[in-house]
Chains A and B, each alone.
Chain A
Amino acid sequence: MSSTDATGHSLQRRGVFGANVGDRAFRWCLLIFAATVLGLIVVLAYELSRASLPAIRQFGWRFIVSSTWDPVHRVFGALPFIYGTLVSSLLALLIAVPISLGTALFLAELAPRWLRGPVSFLVELLAAVPSVVYGLWGIFVLVPLLRPVEAWLGQHLGVVPLFRGPAYGIGMLAAGLVLAIMVIPFITAVSREVLQSVPVSQREAAYALGATRWEAMRGPVLRYARAGILGGVMLGLGRAVGETMAVTMVIGNRPDISASLFSPGYTLASALANEFLEATVEVHTSALLELALILFAITIVINIVARLMLWSVSRGTTMGVRE
């Protein structure tokens, strides 16, 4: 982001700090602390790959495409978990993106100044509530609320496979809803920031041509902010993919692949939370560690794409300012 460079006040570059020996040692000391983060990422990748090697050797690529998960017979396939993770996260985005964008527009453009602070504070509080509390709320409040809704949907829209099946309340839909609640603050915060970074001249140009506020938003502003908003959405997706507790508590934890939104599912993260301590045979532990490796790989890719998108936006704004 903009903090990466271009502030131009680095003392090192200006040569204010001299070549004192103690100072040089101090600087190396700081560097080691900073390098810890790099080390952690490397150790993480190494340990996960090393520990999942037995499972990788035994199942190879079949692990990812096979849908049997049977600890008793020691047959392991990750597909139901990958499917559950992706479907619950995409469902969450489907719900969260419109709400987040609307909220971001409200906060960046529409809200009177005195309302802006309190509302964004409240939205940030959403992010601070621990996920186990969302899970608790999900089990005892959301799921009972969902049961009649699901029954109604099944009665009237049952022709669509999406809405077929028993109305447990617990299942993919509940997981998607809880995840949506948990990613809304992230997507909102990033989108609002990106919207606020759009140069005023973009808006002024549109208004000068006689555009209404919405037309100015839809055209010049949103187009300008597109990459950044997408970056925020990706950041939210990364959160949803890795979220563990709340999902584990409401998704039902069954490694099935089903077209119905009402049926129970399982995600990579909840499998780890539920089974990791129960695994007694080595290949079971190893298979679970491979699930962790897959989860790690997915979130890394999503996060890197998100960062690159956000960086492309902040570079764009710096250029806009310079001109």
Chain B
Amino acid sequence: MWEMKRKVANGLMWSGAVVATAAALVPLVMVLYYVVIQGLPALSLAFFTHLPRPVGEPGGGMANAIVGTLILIGLASALGLPIGILGGIYLAEFGNNRFGWSVRFAADVLAGVPSIVVGILVWAIVVVPMQSFSALAGGAALGIMMIPTVMRTTEELVRLVPVSQREAALSLGATQRRTIFKVVLVAAKGGVITGVLLAVARIAGETAPLLVTALGNTFWSTGLDRPIASLPVQIFNYAISPYDEWHAQAWAGALVLVTLVLVLSAAARYATRGRLRATR
């Protein structure tokens, strides 16, 4: 009898685990299903080539938002990648001290800071002095958000490069700089690229910090110091509007955005193939 009870408990708990896994996957399937079903019909060539039209006028697209998102990603990378990659190299090569420990801790804390708060920081230090919402401010906000991811993945991958490779380079008379750039970084290249892809995938869909920095724009933006459109902000504005045609556009935008983000994540995943730890 006691034996039976134990066996039943065992079976129940394991079936519970299976049910939980299924429950975790249901929302993913549902979200992807609706994004495809609702987004595909509204997707057309015009969506990629035309500017948004006012309500009531048929057609129109999100060309400016798509280009805007790419510009913002570029600006963010220009700021976030050097800091992230070089900082990560520091942590891996020289970071086994109290300072390295605090940088690591700060990076983890920064990764946990809500994106809207990062946006408000950039609003205070970029938008207010420049007296204008701008692409630069949006890029700065996204760039700051890239740093922790890039830094920690770079560190981890640089640490995986065997000491013997460094020793070999140094014994041939290479300087420390040469060793790091020509040997260590080349060996860790795949991993660093993964970190970059993950970081870009993460910021590509960010909306909240852009609301208070890049603002949005229904036309082509005319300069980096002016407000600029982006896919996530446009999706948000269309989604909370009361118009059906804008809802359809929002779904189409979501389809494009989800495709972009998922392709990037899958590529990052493929590039590492399990070498990275899942939490980073």
**Chain A interface residues toward B at CB < 8 A:** 1, 3-5, 7, 9-14, 16-18, 20, 22-23, 26-27, 29-31, 33-38, 40-41, 43-44, 47-48, 51, 98-103, 105-107, 109-111, 117, 119-126, 128-137, 139-141, 181, 184, 186, 188-190, 192-193, 212-215, 217-218, 235, 238-239, 241-245, 249, 269, 272-273, 276-277, 289, 292, 295-296, 299-300, 302-304, 306-307
Report B-chain residues with C-beta under 8 Å of the C-beta of A26. Answer: 176-177, 180
Q: Tell yes or no: B112 within 8 A of A by CB.
A: yes
CB of A242 within 8 A of CB of B116, answer: yes
B207 touches A16 (CB 8 A): no
Partner of A44, one of B38, B83, B113, B277: B113
> Do residues B24 and A137 form an inter-chain contact, with CB atoms below 8 A?
no
Known: A30-B94, A135-B239. A296 touches B117 (CB 8 A): yes
Which partner residue on chain B sits nearest A2 by CB separation? B277
Asked if A44 and B27 make an inter-chain contact with CB atoms under 8 angstroms apart, the answer reads no
A218 and B115 CA atoms in complex are apart in Å by 37
Residues B17 and A299 in contact, CB atoms below 8 Å apart: no
With A122-B28, A133-B205, A212-B7 as contacts: A10 and B110 at CB distance below 8 Å:
no
Q: Can you list 16 residue pairs at the A/B interface with Cβ under 8 Å?
A: A9-B159, A10-B96, A11-B166, A38-B103, A102-B17, A120-B278, A122-B25, A128-B262, A130-B204, A132-B232, A132-B254, A135-B236, A141-B30, A188-B24, A243-B114, A295-B114
Give residues 264-280 of B contacting A (CB, 8 Å): 264-265, 269, 274, 277-279
Instruction: Say yes or no: A132-B207 contact (C-beta < 8 A), given A16-B166, A33-B90.
Output: yes
A135 to B87, CA, bound (A): 35
Instruction: Give the residue among A181, A186, A193 with the most B Cβ atoms within 10 A.
Output: A181
Residue-wise, chain B 229-271 has the 8 Å CB interface mask toward A (1 for contact) of: 0001001100110000001001100100110011011000100
Inter-chain contact B94/A12, CB cutoff 8 Å = yes
Contact status B240-A36, CB under 8 Å: no
In whole Å, how far is A255's beta carbon from the nearest beta carbon of chain B? 17
Expressed in whole angstroms, the Cα–Cα distance for A5 and B100 within the complex equals 10
Across the interface, which residues of A come within 8 angstroms of B30, CB to CB?
137, 141
CB of B176 within 8 A of CB of A181, answer: no
Find chain B residues with CB under 8 A from A100 CB: 20, 24
A302 partner residues in chain B, CB cutoff 8 A: 112
Q: Which of B41-49, B56-64, B119-127 forms part of the interface with chain A?
A: B119-127
- Decide: B278 and A3 in contact? CB cutoff 8 A: no
Interface size class of chain B, counting residues whose CB lies under 8 Å from the partner chain: 35 or more
How far is it, in angstroms, between the C-alpha of A184 and the C-alpha of B262 when the chains are bound? 18
Q: List B contacts of A1 (CB < 8 A).
A: 277
Cross-chain contact B120 with A242 (CB below 8 angstroms): no
Q: Which of B83, B102, B211, B239 contacts A33 (CB 8 A)?
A: B83
Q: Which residues of B contact A215 (CB under 8 A)?
A: 6, 9-10
In the bound complex, what is the Cα–Cα distance between A292 and B121 (angstroms)? 9
> Does B21 lie within 8 Å of A102, measured CB to CB?
yes
Q: Taking CB as reference atom, which chain A residue is nearest B13?
A: A214
- Cα of A29 to Cα of B279 in the assembled complex, Å: 29
Q: Which chain B residues (140-193) contact chain A, with CB distance < 8 Å? A: 144, 147-148, 151, 155-156, 159, 162-163, 166-167, 170, 175-177, 180
The answer on a CB contact under 8 Å between B120 and A276 is yes
Contact A130 B258 (CB under 8 A): yes
Given contacts A100-B24, A130-B261, A181-B27, contact A245 B117 (CB under 8 A): no
Q: Complex formed: what's the CA distance from A129 to B246 in Å?
A: 21
Q: Which residues of B contact A141 (CB under 8 A)?
A: 30, 34
What's the nearest-Cβ distance from chain A to residue B21, in Å?
Answer: 4
Cβ-based interface call for B95 (8 A): yes
Closest to B171 in A: A16
Nearest-CB distance from B80 to chain A (Å)? Answer: 10
Measured between beta carbons, the chain A residues less than 8 angstroms from B239 are 132, 135-136, 139-140, 249
CA distance A101 to B253 in the complex (A): 34
What residues of B have a CB within 8 angstroms of the CB of A18 in the complex?
176
Of the candidates B6, B18, B108, B207, the one whose C-beta lies within 8 Å of that of A131 is B207
Kindly state the separation between the CA atoms of A27 and B17 in the bound complex, as whole angstroms. Answer: 49
- Compute how far the CA of A109 lies from the CA of B16 in the bound complex, rounded to whole angstroms: 13
Query: Given A36-B87, A37-B148, A125-B262, are A295 and B24 also a contact pair (CB < 8 Å)?
Result: no
Chain B residues positioned under 8 Å from A20 (CB to CB): 175-176
- A132 close to B235 (CB less than 8 A): yes
